[in-house]
Amino acid sequence: MEALIRKGESAPSGVPERWGDINWRRVDRNVRVMQIRIAKATQEGDWRRVKALQRSLTRSWSAKASAVRRVAMNQGARTAGVDRVKWETPEARWEAIGRLRRRGYRPLPLRRVYIPKANGKKRPLGIPTLHDRAMQALYLLALEPVSEGTSDPNSYGFRINRSTHDAMSQLFVSLSRRISASWVLEADIKGCFDHISHDWLERNVPMDKVILRKWLKAGVVFQGQFQATDAGTPQGGIISPTLANVALNGLETQLTEFLKAKLGVNRTRKLKVNVVRYADDFVITGNTPEVLENEVKPWVEQFLAIRGLTLSTEKTRIVNMAQGFDFLGWNFRKYSGKLLIKPSKKNAQAFYRKVKEVIGANKGAKQEKLIRLLNPMLRGWAQYHCPVAAKAAFTRMGNLIFRALWRWAKRRHRGKNSEWVRQKYFASVGDRNWVFGTTAVNKADERYWMELYSIPGTLIQRHKKVRAEYHPFDPAQEMYGEQLRQERMAERMSYRKQWAKLYVSQRGLCAVCQGALTDETGWDDHHIEPRILGGSDALGNRVLLHPDCHVQVHHYGKIAVKPVFE
């Protein structure tokens, strides 16, 4: 840290001496203040000031500490890059803060891996080193306030407090009425992350051009061979989704301006052209197929060509709402003029294949282990689809999974009759019969009932869409953003009611560092008085902590402050 100060880089007053002494609340506040100033300068169009503030932020000690923490707390920190280095100790993370310097920085190539896609193809993924990920996180702190201020209103992918459910809700608004648009251009960009023009990004992304060029030209290593990168941003980099969003910003606003200039304001309004985008997937509505084919599609192709991108011919089509289309795992279709949104058949089939693979791979496993493996999958799929008309799909999926588990149970006891198998693996709980469950033992050697998550029992709950004009770095919308984050996190925790109560009582903040608890950071359930010392399992003896803060409590003497329940 002394080296940092000698080099003239900014550090907060009272610089801590180790990772466990960092005041994360102060760090977050320092970063937030700078980001708000960048967002304000962006809104005023003062790009000289934006550049100066970005430079100041990326050189600040608080931003560097925040970037290292984001990378270290992410689950991806367990996956190393080409250098095979992991930050497994607080000392390693502390040293990493001092190494985040612009001068002399040279990113290492990305480690190339391929992951399977739903259509049988493989998606290339580039894994940067932890140091390069931290540098990307550092510069993303300075880029996000600008990208959020220049984003399209109905762009929902990889943005703060925006999700696929918001995109679905916006499409419902655009298509649900009888007088809504009847035609849709369902579009997909061919290899978006792999083909974005480097020249366009360097000219148009409002960030340090030298650093950006180094990332774009870093190359990849696959099977020991180095491959140069002439186009695209690597999928797997922290900053890559934001770069793609910056490249596609303007698709909605510029298209509207083009149509108004060519056809007039009144005619454009009657054509009911609306754009809803999630990352590189987008949908454009229209009143007639002719306007989508002759006006909208050619303009979109020209818009993308400037950025080195093209539409996928196999996935791009113009459809009538009576025929319906799939988007983000849902099927949107009008039945006798009424819009229904359901889980798509393709999504349900892919999910069921994954469930069967898990069941098939654990033929000899204990029932308890199988339930632990399946429950996160079942709960995640059900909660993803619970805001739509999914009751019939849930019932059908529940029946399919029951049959798969019945075959799993019967196979284990070929000499036993069906009644014996039913009594061993299934039980009646309340008014529910054939519940797949067993008794398990927790860490305190207490026995409790464990059962498979019931997809048909998932409640259908309407999603509350984020405001289109919401800006996460606008101080005037600070309260709305906090309420939105807490409401959505409480909804995700609803399957664990005790976690939801703890989260609400702590106002969504970690009990140690007072930083926000999010899906990205994750959380641990900590007992203030340990169970082995006689502490109870009551809510009054428990708090939610960041996983890293949990380590600080147990190994470095940090204190978790219990909030007062109201």
Q: Quote the pLDDT of residue 5.
A: 38
Q: Cβ–Cβ contacts within 10 Å for residue 268, how many?
A: 20
pTM over 0.75? The answer is yes
Cβ-Cβ contacts under 8 Å for 416 (sequence gap 6 or more): none
**Average pLDDT value for the chain:** 89
pLDDT tens for 491-537 read 777 667 788 888 888 888 888 888 888 877 888 888 888 766 667 77
- 64-68, 363-367, 479-483 — which is least confidently predicted? 479-483
pLDDT tens for 450-485 read 999 999 999 999 999 999 999 999 999 988 988 888
pLDDT tens for 116-149 read 776 667 777 888 999 999 999 999 999 999 999 9
Instruction: Label residue 394 by pLDDT band (50, 70, 90).
Output: very high
CA distances from 539 to 498, 501, 529, 557 (A): 7, 8, 12, 22
Q: How are beta strands 432-441 and 447-451 bridged, if at all? A: antiparallel
What is the C-alpha separation between 438 and 151, in angstroms, rounded? 50
What is the C-alpha separation between 347 and 168, in angstroms, rounded? 15
What is the C-alpha separation between 545 and 523, in angstroms, rounded? 5
What is the percentage of the chain residues whose pLDDT exceeds 90?
Answer: 66
Total residues found in the chain within this entry: 566
Q: Quote the pLDDT of residue 58.
A: 97
pLDDT tens for 152-179 read 999 999 999 999 999 999 999 999 999 9
